[in-house]
Amino acid sequence: MKTSQLMLSTLREIPADAVIASHQLMLRAGLTRKLGNGLYSYMPLGLRSLRKVENIIREELDKAGLLEMKPTVVVPGELWKESGRWNTMGVEMLRAKNRGGQDIVISPTAEEAFTALVRDTLTSYKQYPVILYQINTKYRDEIRPRYGVMRGREFIMMDAYSFDIDQKSLDESYEKCAAAYRRIFKRMGLSTISVKADTGAMGGSGSEEFMVESEVGDDTLILCPKCDYAANVEKATCKSDVALDKDGNPQKATDLPYEEIDTPNVKTIDDLASFLKTTPQAFIKTLIYKVSNCGIELPGQKGEDKFVAVCIRGDLDVNEAKLCAILKASDVELACDEDVTRITDAPVGFAGPVKLTKAPVIADESISTMHDAVTGGLKKDVHFIHVEPGRDFTPFMSADVRTVKPGDKCPDCGAEFYTKKGNELGHIFKLGDKYTKSMNVTYLDENGKQQTPIMGCYGIGVDRTLASIIEEHHDENGIVWTMTTAPYQVAIVPVKYDGVMKESSDKLYDELTKAGIEVLLDDRNERPGVKFKDMDLIGIPVRIVVGEKNLPNVEVKMRNQTEANLVPLEEASSKVVQIVQEELAKLNA
């Protein structure tokens, strides 16, 4: 390809609304253009890299035995009603009506479509297992699309769905996909962090997120520097630590009964610590939470609104995601002042577990080593001291609801955690029979008995993966593509596309193209500096500069190195072919 034919359109300035490197560089290098809010068009150069990312995904999935299909992007709302998600999907799902007045959905994901296809196609256990996938357009009506294609409204997703007849087979399907994912990201040159987690209560079920580090990541990751522990902060656990007194010794039990003290004008735990000349670890912090759709029985809580009192050591924070999971609730939120007052018989700030009757107490595990503690006194300006957990109050439930922080210790090896912001590129997930059951998918087993298959689902955000490659591989001059994902592998830049420089450039172009290398020949009538800057910006891995002064040598420079090498023109193509092939082999290994 010659640059003059490519409709290349680079920008010197950083577009005003582009915050992160990939968004800036995709616009500056002319890979994408904004068509609307959260809607990005891929220009010819950008589409080439996008297709490479898609093809790496496709090759690895095909190799793993997955079958590619193509359901429609627009699907009948009926399918979503069957699964029950018509009601549970929020406004992010774009719905419309066709001219016949029937509900339709612009697919945000495709569990329903694939489940319906399998229901209509597979009848016997002999036809199982299958893992089906598509690489197709999706739409999510993000309230605030941003960071370019990193969080757009329309995007391309690879979504795969496995259908198995038993847990062992599902485990195998899941492992196949996990292995394929590792190869996919490795081949692209992406460093991913694997975050495993048990999801829900089903035995043996699990999930794994493939994250990349990102300053604007949606997720906070808790990472161990020594072992491979990695968890989303929403699920991270840490080694439990013993509660210490103000001198740094384990807290000791007291025989004194708990007693009221006046604490006027004391608002915060820190105020209270100064007031009592101790540390926040001496306090049992009590927070009243309102629980939505609680999945377990809560004593004394009837009607729509249910409440719990969560107790945790004063220096720690409650992790609402973990609390939510423990209560099998759809949501938890801090109770409003009015509810707190009603439940604690006191203004906000004096909640405590002792003598509390209007909400069951959930005690974080940190409480278990606390002694002689301070709690709220259920009266304005009153606290209790000498509180002994177990003696003075009995929690309804003890559980890990603590927010893990950097400095907390790894439960596996004891090293101190650090934290990173991350973005999810891929997710693999054992679904069980959620969709097959609600949508009545059955097969006949060996005994002719109707059974329900179980599913796994597996997704990769394709545009986000492309942007993440740029996030990881760029410098101040532009993108530094990995060889497997570069729109072109080699750029030939004649200082002037004329005379002997033109002849030499054309010769190199022909030789390299014949050898199967993807070459961009910058034939534009521009100053060399402009061409070098553009080739750096668009990030072609190998650059060959053909200048009159150097001939019969040409300059070969890798985009990720600062030094160029002079190579005789006659040897240049074979040398460059070797560089490209070695780099491809390394990534594809």
Residues lying near its own copies in the complex (CB under 8 A): 5-7, 9, 30, 33, 35-37, 39-44, 47, 50, 65, 67-76, 78-79, 91-92, 94-96, 98-100, 102, 104, 106, 113, 116-117, 120-122, 127, 130, 132, 136-137, 139, 141, 143, 153-154
Residues 334, 318 contacting (CB under 8 angstroms): no
Three-state SS at 260: strand
Using CA atoms, how far apart are residues 7 and 282, in angstroms rounded to an integer?
Answer: 67
160 phi, psi to nearest 5 deg? -120, 150
Using CA atoms, how far apart are residues 575 and 111, in angstroms rounded to an integer?
Answer: 49
Q: Count Cβ atoms within 10 A of the Cβ of residue 305 and give its class: 0-12 exposed, 13-18 middle, 19 or more buried.
A: exposed
Q: How far is the CB of 124 from its own copies (least distance, A)?
A: 11
Q: How far is the CB of 70 from its own copies (least distance, A)?
A: 4
Nearer to its own copies, 109 or 344 (CB): 109
Nearer to its own copies, 143 or 336 (CB): 143
Q: How far is the CB of 531 from its own copies (least distance, A)?
A: 16
Give 130's strand partners.
163
- The DSSP symbol for 314 reads T
Nearer to its own copies, 99 or 252 (CB): 99
| C-alpha triplet 34, 37, 41: angle, nearest 5° | 30
Place of tokens 């840490």: 238
Give 448's strand partners.
none
Q: How far is the CB of 184 from its own copies (least distance, A)?
A: 20
Place of tokens 């059955």: 442
Using CA atoms, how far apart are residues 403 and 401, in angstroms rounded to an integer?
Answer: 7
Q: How far is the CB of 73 from its own copies (least distance, A)?
A: 5
Residues 52, 156 contacting (CB under 8 angstroms): no
Nearer to its own copies, 13 or 563 (CB): 13
Nearer to its own copies, 143 or 444 (CB): 143
Nearer to its own copies, 37 or 330 (CB): 37
Residue 462: closest CA among 190, 280, 85: 190
Residues 441, 157 contacting (CB under 8 angstroms): no
Q: How far is the CB of 281 from its own copies (least distance, A)?
A: 45
How are beta strands 306-313 and 361-364 bridged, if at all? parallel
Q: How far is the CB of 253 from its own copies (least distance, A)?
A: 56
The first and second tokens of residue 497, run together, are 């596309």
Nearer to its own copies, 6 or 535 (CB): 6
Using CA atoms, how far apart are residues 466 and 152, in angstroms rounded to an integer?
Answer: 13
Q: How far is the CB of 71 from its own copies (least distance, A)?
A: 4
The first and second tokens of residue 178, run together, are 């996990």
Nearer to its own copies, 9 or 88 (CB): 9
Nearer to its own copies, 5 or 560 (CB): 5
Q: How far is the CB of 554 from its own copies (least distance, A)?
A: 27
Using CA atoms, how far apart are residues 91 and 143, in angstroms rounded to an integer?
Answer: 9
Place of tokens 């030789």: 511
Nearer to its own copies, 33 or 182 (CB): 33
Nearer to its own copies, 30 or 478 (CB): 30
Q: How far is the CB of 257 from its own copies (least distance, A)?
A: 58
Q: Count Cβ atoms within 10 A of the Cβ of residue 86 and give its class: 0-12 exposed, 13-18 middle, 19 or more buried.
A: middle
Nearer to its own copies, 73 or 399 (CB): 73
Residue 58: closest CA among 465, 456, 542: 465
Three-state SS at 69: coil
Using CA atoms, how far apart are residues 248 and 238, in angstroms rounded to an integer?
Answer: 20
Q: How far is the CB of 521 from its own copies (least distance, A)?
A: 15
Residue 518: closest CA among 29, 45, 26, 188: 45
Q: How far is the CB of 120 from its own copies (least distance, A)?
A: 6
362 sits in which H/E element: strand 361-364
